[in-house]
Structure 1
Amino acid sequence: MKTQPTTRFVPHTVDGKTRMVPITVDTPAPPRDWDRLILNGVTGIAAVVLTASVVWSTASIGDLLARAVIEPAAYGAAVVFDLAWIACMAVEWLARYDEDRAALPRKAGNVALIVAMLAIGAHGKIAGYWEIGIVGALVSGLAKGLWTVVIRHQTPPLDQRTRAWIQGELADAGASLALIPVRRQLQRAQAQVDAERAALATGSDHGSADPDRPDESADDPDADVLAIRPGALTTKDAVRIAWDSGVRDDDEARRYVAKVTGKAPSPDTIARYMRLLRKVAG
Structure 2
Amino acid sequence: MKTRTTEHLVPHTVDGKTRMIPIPVEAPAPPRDWDHLVLRGVTVIAAVVLAASVVWSTASIGDLLNRAVIEPAAYGAAIVFDLAWIACMAVEWLARYDDDRAALPRKAGNLALVVAMLAIGAHGKIAGYWEIGIVGALVSALAKGLWTVVLRHQTPPLDARTRAWIQGELADAGASLALIPVRRQLQRAEAQVQAERAAIASPDADPDQSGQSTDDPAADPEPPAAGPMTIKDAVRTALDSGIREPDRVLAYVRKVADANAKADTVNRYIRLAS
Pairwise same-fold verdict (TM > 0.5): yes
Which residue identity is paired with 1:160? A
Q: Compute the displacement of 1:127 (Å).
A: 0.3
CA distance in 1, matches of 2:79, 2:110: 17
Following superposition, the deviation at residue 103 of structure 1 comes to 1.2
Note the C-alpha offset of 1:198: 3.7
Distance in 2 between residues matched to 1:91 and 1:29, nearest whole Å: 38
How big is the shift at 1:147?
A: 0.6
Pick closer, same or farther for the CA change 1:197–1:17 going to 2, 3 Å.
farther
Relative distance call for 1:21 and 1:70 in structure 2 (3 A) is same
Instruction: Find the aligned partners of 2:15 and 2:196 in 1 and give their Cα distance.
Output: 68
Which residue is 2:17 aligned to?
17
Among the aligned pairs, what percent are the same residue? 83
Supply the AA of the counterpart residue of 2:18. T
TM-aligned CA deviation for residue 10 of structure 1 = 2.4
1:149-188 alignment runs, 5 A limit: 149-188=149-188
Aligned to 1:120: 120
AA partner of residue 91 (structure 1): V
Instruction: Supply the distance in 2 between the matched residues of 1:158 and 1:209 (Cα, whole angstroms).
Output: 77
Aligned to 2:58: 58
TM-score by length of 2: 0.72
Give the corresponding residue for 1:86. Answer: 86
Q: Is the partner of 2:21 in helix, strand or coil?
A: strand
Alpha-carbon offset, residue 181 of structure 1: 1.2
Q: Find the aligned partners of 1:6 and 1:194 in 2 and give their Cα distance.
A: 66
Task: For residues 243-268 of structure 1, give each alpha carbon's deviation from its aligned partner in whole angstroms, at most 9, with x where no partner exists.
Answer: xxxxxxxxxxxxxxxxxxxxxxxxxx
For residue 45 of structure 2, what is the amino acid of its counterpart?
I
Aligned AA (2:66) = A
Which one-letter code corresponds to 1:116 in the other structure?
A
Structure 1: gaps (5+ residues)? 212-222, 226-282
One-letter identity of the residue aligned with 1:197 = R
Matching residue of 2:254: none
CA distance in structure 2 between the partners assigned to 1:94 and 1:8 by the alignment: 38
Q: Within 2, Cα distance between the matches of 1:84 and 1:210?
A: 71
Q: Distance in 1 between matches of 2:207 and 2:168?
A: 60
Q: Secondary structure at the match of 2:122?
A: helix
Partner of 2:243: none
Structure with bigger gyration radius:
2
> Residue 20 of structure 1 aligns to a residue in which SS?
strand
Between the aligned partners of 1:81 and 1:10, the Cα distance in structure 2 is 59
Matched, 1:68 2:85: no
The count of aligned residue pairs is 212
Summarize deviations over 1:94-149 as a string: whole Å, max 9, x none: 11111111111111111000000000000000000000000000000100110111
Deviations 1:154-180 (A, max 9, x none): 112211111111100000010111111
Taking a change above 3 Å as real, the CA distance of residues 31 and 186 of structure 1, as seen in their structure-2 partners, is: same
**AA matched with 1:23:** I
The 5-angstrom pairing of residues 240-259 of structure 1 reads none
The 1-side partners of 2:25 and 2:195 are apart by 67
Counterpart-to-counterpart distance in 2, 1:12 and 1:187: 58
- In the alignment, structure 2 segments of 5+ residues that lack a partner are 210-228, 232-274
* TM-score, with structure 1 as normaliser: 0.70
Q: Distance in 2 between matches of 1:139 and 1:89?
A: 16
